[in-house]
Amino acid sequence: MKTAFRLLAAIGAILLLTGCGGKKTPAYRQVNPEEAAAMMESETDYILLDVRTQQEYEQGHIPGAICVPNEAIGSGEISELPDKEQLILVYCRSGNRSKQAAEKLANAGYTNVVEFGGILSWTRETVSGSGQS
């Protein structure tokens, strides 16, 4: 009986230490749109990443943003994002896809990913058109 108890205790300790069943914390930071705007004003070497569809991007995006749809992230190397240590500020329409994309980028080895929600909460300038600035 003592052996079975010890075995169960050891298994429980292993599961506890490995985090089995626990929610994994994302390897990216989340900020609000105002904090992201402040980062854009203070930083010089960053990529502003819009993860909506090209059509959504053309209807209106934050100046300087590039479009790499969320669905395209995670299926190999991303030529638009060659430096995995560069600051990448990620947004979408409402914040759902940007969280998904930020997590996929972090899992792909990007180390400086900041997710700031959706353009619906963006109170600053937007532009339309297909030209990626």
Active site residues: 92
Cβ pair 60, 126 in contact under 8 A: yes
H-assigned helices in the chain: 2-18, 33-42, 54-59, 96-107
H-assigned helices in 19-83: 33-42, 54-59
Among 125, 112, 117, 121, CA closest to 50: 117
Handedness of CA 129, 126, 109, 14 (dihedral sign): negative
